Amino acid sequence: MQNRRRALRITAAAIAMAAFMARPAGAAEEISFNMAWLPQGSVAGPIIAKAKGWFDEAGLDVTLSRGYGGSRTANEVDQGMFTVGYVDPINVALNRQNGGSLRMIGVVNGVWPAGVCYVKKEGAERRGIDDIIGLKMGGGAASPVHNILPAWLEMNGRARDGISLLRLDPAVVDASLLEGRIDLAECWRASNRAVLQKIARSSGKEVGWIEYSDHGLNAYGSGFVATEASIAGKPDALRAFLEASYRGYAFAMEEPEAARDILVGAYPSLDPEITLQQIRELASLLAPSGEIEATFDAGRIEATHALMVKAFDLKPDAVQPDQLFTNALAD
């Protein structure tokens, strides 16, 4: 257990906030956090920090709100409706290209969390990219899969249209996969993958997947974002928010069952089985190197920017790599 604790220690850079916590007593600093979707394992850190009183200890008055997708969350943070959001670099890049001022301020998904999922069939195990070429894949009408998948195929030496993409209502994608109307669907660790697997089990089926990140996609996924104005105007409060949130994530990885109980206690509509699996999947995203990676790596920043340029026709001169991320709050 001691080795586990050392492996999951939060980097010193992520907890550089002692001055803020030692300030004279006064009114708590208000921070509003948009979870981008319904509460789930991927945002366990802030949920646990709030339940444990760690935000209060840091002099913060934090409110947690459900969101309605990454694009809307990015716009709402940029417009000042929320202080911090859980947003992917795609929407940060598109926001900045359209005149916004978002930056990613902290890592949550240190690797790209999505994979290509399929229903396992006897004698037809799909272990690599060539096993899924020629199949049909469904995705929500506005899902990034329609941009990411062709770019991913191309970077692996396959034709961009090697997999047929269908635009579907997001609500029917998983059902379409399990009913055999499509062959493939995108699924995300610490998010909908656990949901899809449980539904499949209930009908006697099993889900398999191929990770994008195992085949050349070296990019960051969603993390904490804030505006340039917030970063400049309330850096100590944001540092305190990040430190308490990473403390929550460290707790979740070390005590997953206890973390599950906290999330279900805060949001009773959550499925305990699904929530526990989401929490257990966090380690592969938050700590791919063995410890929580709270700061951004320059090489992966460049790789993420290159993906945005290739997949979304991002104008490279309009949005530079160092405009997407900042480690200023970890100094």
Judged against a pLDDT cut of 70, whether residue 20 lies above it is answered with: no
- Position 3 scores a pLDDT of 37
- Position 331 scores a pLDDT of 59
CA distance 17 to 22: 9
Residue 4 pLDDT class (50, 70, 90 cuts): very low
Least confident of 139-148, 195-204, 233-242, 273-282: 139-148
Contact present, 234 and 58 (Cβ < 8 Å):
no
Least confident of 1-15, 34-48, 77-91, 229-243: 1-15
Least confident of 94-98, 165-169, 286-290: 286-290
Higher pLDDT, 110 or 16: 110
- Position 24 scores a pLDDT of 47
CA distance 75 to 93: 12
- Position 26 scores a pLDDT of 61
- Position 288 scores a pLDDT of 83
Judged against a pLDDT cut of 90, whether residue 17 lies above it is answered with: no
Q: Where are the alpha helices (DSSP H) in the chain?
A: 2-7, 18-21, 44-52, 54-57, 70-78, 89-97, 145-155, 173-178, 192-202, 228-233, 235-254, 256-266, 272-281, 283-286, 298-312, 321-324
CA distance 275 to 42: 9
CA distance 73 to 180: 32
CA distance 252 to 262: 10
- For residues 166-172, give the mean pLDDT: 92
pLDDT tens column, 271-282: 999 999 999 999
- What SS3 state is found at 163? coil
Give the relative orientation of helices 256-266 and 272-281 as an angle to the nearest 10 degrees. Answer: 130
Least confident of 13-17, 208-212, 238-242: 13-17
At 263, list the tokens. 């999330």
pLDDT tens column, 117-158: 999 987 667 789 999 999 999 998 888 899 999 999 999 999
Residue 315 pLDDT class (50, 70, 90 cuts): confident
DSSP 251-306: HHHH-HHHHHHHHHHH-TTS-HHHHHHHHHHTHHHH-TTSS---S--HHHHHHHHH
- Position 316 scores a pLDDT of 75
CA distance 236 to 29: 10
Least confident of 14-18, 70-74, 103-107, 219-223: 14-18
- For residues 58-80, give the mean pLDDT: 96
pLDDT tens column, 97-126: 999 999 999 999 999 999 999 999 876 677
Judged against a pLDDT cut of 60, whether residue 18 lies above it is answered with: no
Judged against a pLDDT cut of 80, whether residue 198 lies above it is answered with: yes
Name residue 184's beta-bridge partners: 137
- What SS3 state is found at 21? helix
DSSP 8-state assignment for residue 59 = T
Residue 2 pLDDT class (50, 70, 90 cuts): very low
Judged against a pLDDT cut of 50, whether residue 11 lies above it is answered with: no
CA distance 15 to 17: 6
- For residues 45-59, give the mean pLDDT: 98
Other residues' Cβ atoms within 10 Å of the Cβ of residue 181: 14
Average pLDDT value for the chain: 90
CA distance 97 to 262: 39
